[in-house]
Amino acid sequence: MRRASIVAACVLSLGLPRVARASSSDELVASARRAEAAHEDEVAVRRYTEALALDGTHEEAWLALGSLRTRLGDVAEAEHVYSACIARLPGSTRAHLARADALHALGRLPEAVAEVELVARADPSVRRKVAGYYMSDGLYPAALAAWRSLLVSGTADGDEGLVKEARAMIRALVLFAKPLDPAAYPTSTSRSRVWLGVIARRGG
C-alpha cells in the first residue's frame, strides 16, 4: 500500500505547475525534517510523501524518506523508495549508493555490488563501499582484491589520497586474509609461486 500511495502521489503531481510544485514540496520537506528532529516520525513520513505528491522528481524528499525508513528498521521499504527514486532520477548518484547500502543490509550482496558499479563507471573511488561490504561480511580476500583494484585506479587517476588509503588497507588486510589468500601466501615453495606472493602482498 505504501508503495502504491507513493506512485499515485507522483502521478497526481504532474497536474501542478512546476514552480508551484517545487516551492511547496521544498516547504513540505523542511516541515518533514522538523518533524524528524522532534521525533514525530509518522508525521515526517506523511510530509515527505506529500512532497513527492507535489514533485515526483524531488531528490531530497526521496532520499530523506528512504533514510527515515531505514532508521525505522524498514530496510526493505527503504530499498523500494530508492528504486522509485532511481526510476524517476536515473542519474542520482546518491540514490544508487543508498540503494546499494539497503541491498547489502538485506543480504543481497551481489546486487549491492552491481549498484555501486553503476556509479563507479564515472567515479572508481566509490568502490571503497564495495570493499567495506566485503569487510563487514568477513570476506577479507574479496576486500583485499577490491582495495588492490582501488590502488590501480587511484594510481592511474593520480589520486594520492586514494593511493595512500589503499596501500594502508592492503597492508592491514593481508593480516586477516593470510590464511585465505593463496595468491599472497602460497604454500608452495617454488620460486615462481613465492615471487607471485610477494607481488600480491605489495598490491600489484
Predicted confidence band at 169 (pLDDT cuts at 50, 70, 90)?
very high
Predicted confidence band at 174 (pLDDT cuts at 50, 70, 90)?
confident
Mean pLDDT of 5-18: 50
Cβ atoms of 32 and 47 within 8 Å: the answer is yes
Predicted confidence band at 39 (pLDDT cuts at 50, 70, 90)?
very high
Predicted confidence band at 153 (pLDDT cuts at 50, 70, 90)?
very high
Mean pLDDT of 117-124: 95
What domains are defined for the chain?
1-122 (1.25.40.10), 125-204 (no CATH)
Mean pLDDT of 129-158: 95
Question: Residue 52 — φ and ψ, nearest 5°?
Answer: -70, -25
Check: pTM over 0.85? Answer yes or no. no
pLDDT at 202: 55
Closest CA to 105 of 75, 140, 135, 78: 75
Query: DSSP characters for the chain?
Result: -HHHHHHHHHHHHTTS-HHHHHHHHHHHHHHHHHHHHTT-HHHHHHHHHHHHHH-TT-HHHHHHHHHHHHHTT-HHHHHHHHHHHHHH-TT-HHHHHHHHHHHHHTT-HHHHHHHHHHHHTT-GGGHHHHHHHHHHTT-HHHHHHHHHHHHHHHHHHT-HHHHHHHHHHHHHHHHHHGGG-TTTS-S---HHHHHHHHHHHHT-
4 compared with 60, residue with greater pLDDT: 60
List, for residues 88-103, the tens digit of each pLDDT value: 999 999 999 999 999 9
Is pLDDT at 196 greater than 50 in this prediction?
no
Mean pLDDT of 26-47: 97
Predicted confidence band at 11 (pLDDT cuts at 50, 70, 90)?
very low
Cβ atoms of 104 and 133 within 8 Å: the answer is yes
Q: Indicate the residue type of 85.
A: C
pLDDT at 191: 55
Mean pLDDT of 62-90: 98
181 compared with 61, residue with greater pLDDT: 61
203 compared with 113, residue with greater pLDDT: 113
